[in-house]
Amino acid sequence: MSVNKLILGDNLEILKTIEPDSVDLIYLDPPFFSNRNYEVIWGDEGEVRSFQDRWAGGVDHYIAWLKERVTEMHRILKPTGSIFLHCDWHANAYIRVDILDKIFGYDNFRGEIIWQRTNAHNDAKKKLAVISDTIWYYSKSNKYTYNPIYSELTDKYKNDFYRFEDKRGQFRLGDLTAPNTRNGESGSPWKDINPTNKGRSWAVPNNIVEQIAGKEAVKQLTVQQKLDLLLANDYIVFSKNNIPSVKRYLDNSNGTMLGDVWTDIVNVQGASKERIGYPTQKPEALLERIILMASNEGDTVLDPFVGGGTTIAVAEKLNRKWIGIDQSVQAVKVTEFRLQNQLGLLAISSPYTVLLHKYDYDKLRNENAFEFESWIVRQFGGVPNAKQRGDMGLDGKAADGAPIQVKRSDNIGRNVIDNFLSAVQRSDKKLFDKNIAAKLPIGYIIAFSFGKGAVEEVARLSNKENIIIKLITVESIIPIAVKPAITVSINELSIDAKRVRKIEFIAAGQSENGIEFYSWDFAYNASNGFKPQVLLDKEGKQIYSFKTGTHNIAVKVVDNNGLENIETIRLKINGAVEREAKNPA
Ligand SMILES: C[S@@+](CC[C@H](N)C(=O)[O-])C[C@H]1O[C@@H](n2cnc3c(N)ncnc32)[C@H](O)[C@@H]1O
């Protein structure tokens, strides 16, 4: 199974199943303790209920709810791991004092990041505008992964600070000394200038020395020789009072070192490219900064409130492993489609697993047979055979040691029972006889369903010959459901002077569990996979414009179990709109 996982469920239950000390970085953006209507993001039944419960009990209730989850997060973080908890003014003080200081310890506080998410609008004329969120940053111990982050220089900063220019480019003047006197070379005079007279010592920029004379020079030259080298190469200027400064060029700048106030990351706006359509989606730039700062490539990043999947999408781009959890089917499926969109655009794209509450009957029926057999044997608590061949049709052993056969089909007939019986005897006659004597099952057959002939033969064997064979349906091992059905109708709405046609698409999904949402790909290419331009459409209605030519469109419907179905449409537009519904390219 892949390391990367998207899991549907209450994060408390799922966090409990994760190994201790196994995750490098956790970012969480839980529902804030604010207006509950605003917080009902997805509108799922389950979510509405849990929000209402939480708010009914006030802030103490909210803190208790969050605290048990953060306790689990602390347990699964590696000793070098960090947590970033995104919240706002409603509960940030309680979260710090009652949760983070208690669980992570006051000494492991690493920062209070103030993220300016918006500008003050008109209502700031009447009262002070709240325009920031808080992101609490704690580590599990005092040895933690930290990569300094630089923010890009604004034009204003460049012009204000890099005020000088020479043939090498724009530069600013930097200090060549640091506070406090020191002995040795750093405190010895150069060109009759003694820094210790002013309570300071030399601070030579080794990166420039290295640029001029290489790495070895940094190790071998004395402080005074390095200063000579800088002067000879026109890196030092003297002020009127004979104070030397070093030229620091804009081209060599990494930007400004970043502190805990982040004002340069714009929130997801109506027209942003990354917008997927719900109010609390966080910008990718925010997550990129956090992930780069507190993890390295190959590390595992967890978001237990994954929402629209920003953390996961960025972790994947930055070559981290990831786990995302959400209790909302919509969140998990939108995140999955968002990832699909991104896969293929990236040089590296890693496999992942989506764990829902129910399995799609059709998908299981059509899966690779050997993989299905091994998987279902494990789900049954047994051990699958390592190899596919030479097993006499037996696929593994149950927890009691009796053989298992898996049939990836429905309506299993009598002949399967006969063959199984002889295979079990041939594979281990001693065990077979022992189980009969002890009135224990001689083996198990797992299938989607069993026909009358098979059921009757199993009953006869048990009654007349004391041979017990257990018939196990897949559904009794794992929950399965039938995926939703989907139909799509189209209406031509208009045609303009350039023969561009506006076409309305209406998708209708059917499922006994109810439909969650639709996603649309208007330039579908089966070999690239489904790459929706519209990720989250609750209504199933879209209007799209097409020029003359052939167009492939795909729409996916997702039901309340998270099961999905796809309908593909091929439109030929040439004078009239012609639809071929089946077998698109
Ligand atoms: C504020 S949103 C997260 C948004 C996310 N940071 C993004 O950028 O898309 C909070 C999410 O937490 C989920 N959630 C709330 N309670 C949960 C729980 N107990 N277990 C798992 N997910 C939960 C909600 O379904 C919602 O999707």
Q: Give 339-363 pLDDT, tens digit per residue.
A: 988 876 554 456 888 999 999 999 8
Q: Would you state the pLDDT for residue 55?
A: 59
Query: Residue 298 and residue 3: Cα distance in Å, rounded?
Result: 11
Q: CB neighbours (10 Å) of residue 309?
A: 28
Which stretch of 46-55, 292-301, 350-359 has the lowest confidence by average pLDDT? 46-55
Place of tokens 């018939």: 471
Q: Would you state the pLDDT for residue 321?
A: 96
Q: CB neighbours (10 Å) of residue 100?
A: 21
- Could you tell me the fold of the domain covering 482-580? Immunoglobulin-like (2.60.40)
The predicted model gives 55-69 an average pLDDT of 85
DSSP of 329-363, one letter per residue? Answer: HHHHHHHHHHHHHHTTTSS----EEEE-SSEEHHH
Mutate to test the pocket of ligand 1, among 42, 85, 305, 310 (most ligand atoms within 8 A of CB): 305
Are both 362-477 and 482-580 of the same fold?
Answer: no
Q: CB neighbours (10 Å) of residue 215?
A: 10
Nearest Cα residue to 290 out of 106, 26, 72, 66: 26
Q: How far away, in angstroms, is 10 Cα from ligand 1 center?
A: 10
Q: Would you state the pLDDT for residue 400?
A: 95
Atom of ligand 1 lying closest to residue 11 CA: 20
Q: Are 213 and 207 in contact (CB under 8 A)?
A: no
Q: Are 41 and 305 in contact (CB under 8 A)?
A: no
Q: Are 201 and 176 in contact (CB under 8 A)?
A: no
Average pLDDT, the chain: 90
Atom of ligand 1 lying closest to residue 325 CA: 21
DSSP conformation class of 193: B
Per-residue tokens: 545: 């414009």
Task: Indicate whether 50 pLDDT > 70.
Answer: no
- Cα first-last separation, the chain: 31
Q: CB neighbours (10 Å) of residue 271?
A: 6
The predicted model gives 312-337 an average pLDDT of 94
Q: Would you state the pLDDT for residue 507?
A: 97
Query: Residue 455 and residue 502: Cα distance in Å, rounded?
Result: 57
Strand partners, 362: none
Nearest Cα residue to 206 out of 218, 221, 220, 188: 218
CATH architecture of the domain with residue range 362-477: 3-Layer(aba) Sandwich (3.40)
310 CB less than 6 Å from ligand 1?
Answer: yes
Task: Indicate whether 49 pLDDT > 50.
Answer: no
Query: Residue 246 and residue 255: Cα distance in Å, rounded?
Result: 17
Q: Would you state the pLDDT for residue 253?
A: 80
Q: State percent of the chain over pLDDT 90.
A: 71
User: For residue 246, what pLDDT band results from cuts at 50, 70 and 90?
Assistant: very high
Q: In degrees, to the nearest 5, what angle opens at C-alpha 85 toward C-alphas 80 and 91?
A: 145
Q: How far away, in angstroms, is 29 Cα from ligand 1 center?
A: 7
Identify which has the larger pLDDT, 53 or 135.
135
28 CB less than 6 Å from ligand 1?
Answer: no
521 CB less than 6 Å from ligand 1?
Answer: no
Q: Kindly indicate whether the domain formed by 5-149+259-355 is annotated with CATH number 3.30.420.40.
A: no
Close Cβ partners of 425 (under 8 Å, ≥ 6 residues apart): 432
Protein residue with its CA nearest to atom 25 in ligand 1:
328
Identify which has the larger pLDDT, 135 or 277.
135
Q: How far away, in angstroms, is 117 Cα from ligand 1 center?
A: 19
What 3-state class would DSSP assign to 311?
helix
HSE of 77, CA atoms in CB hemisphere, 13 A: 28
Q: Would you state the pLDDT for residue 125?
A: 87
Q: Would you state the pLDDT for residue 455?
A: 97
Phi-psi label, residue 26: left if phi above 0, alpha if psi -120 to 50, beta otherwise: beta
Q: How far away, in angstroms, is 233 Cα from ligand 1 center?
A: 57
DSSP of 401-455, one letter per residue? Answer: S-EEEE--SSSB-HHHHHHHHHHHHHH-HHHHHHHHHTT-EEEEEEES-B-HHHH
- What residues does each domain of the chain span? 5-149+259-355, 155-252, 362-477, 482-580
Which stretch of 69-83, 156-170, 548-562 has the lowest confidence by average pLDDT? 156-170
Task: Indicate whether 95 pLDDT > 50.
Answer: yes
Residue 528 phi/psi, 5-degree rounding, is: -90, -15
The predicted model gives 509-526 an average pLDDT of 94
For the entire predicted model, the pTM comes to 0.81
Place of tokens 């004002």: 263
Task: Indicate whether 494 pLDDT > 90.
Answer: no
Residue 178 phi/psi, 5-degree rounding, is: -125, 160
Query: Residue 18 and residue 26: Cα distance in Å, rounded?
Result: 13
Query: Residue 357 and residue 8: Cα distance in Å, rounded?
Result: 7
pLDDT digits (tens, 9 = 90+) for 455-479: 999 999 999 999 999 999 999 999 9
The predicted model gives 299-320 an average pLDDT of 96
Return the H-helix or E-strand segment holding 124: none
280 CB less than 6 Å from ligand 1?
Answer: yes
Which CA distances in Å does 289 have to 149, 262, 294, 554?
Answer: 7, 10, 9, 35
The predicted model gives 361-388 an average pLDDT of 88
Nearest Cα residue to 334 out of 585, 6, 582: 6
Q: In degrees, to the nearest 5, what angle opens at C-alpha 307 toward C-alphas 301 and 312?
A: 30
Task: Indicate whether 388 pLDDT > 80.
Answer: no
Q: State percent of the chain over pLDDT 70.
A: 92
Name the packing angle between helices 45-56 and 58-76 (round to 10°). Answer: 120
Q: Would you state the pLDDT for residue 102?
A: 98
Task: Indicate whether 389 pLDDT > 80.
Answer: no
Query: Residue 300 and residue 21: Cα distance in Å, rounded?
Result: 11
Question: What is the distance of C-alpha 525 from the center of its chain?
Answer: 25
Q: Would you state the pLDDT for residue 491?
A: 93
Mutate to test the pocket of ligand 1, among 306, 322, 337, 536 (most ligand atoms within 8 A of CB): 306
Q: How far away, in angstroms, is 326 Cα from ligand 1 center?
A: 6
Task: Indicate whether 518 pLDDT > 90.
Answer: yes
Q: Would you state the pLDDT for residue 435?
A: 96
Query: Residue 360 and residue 475: Cα distance in Å, rounded?
Result: 11
pLDDT digits (tens, 9 = 90+) for 18-39: 999 999 999 999 987 664 444 4
Query: Residue 295 and residue 301: Cα distance in Å, rounded?
Result: 8
Query: Residue 82 and residue 95: Cα distance in Å, rounded?
Result: 16
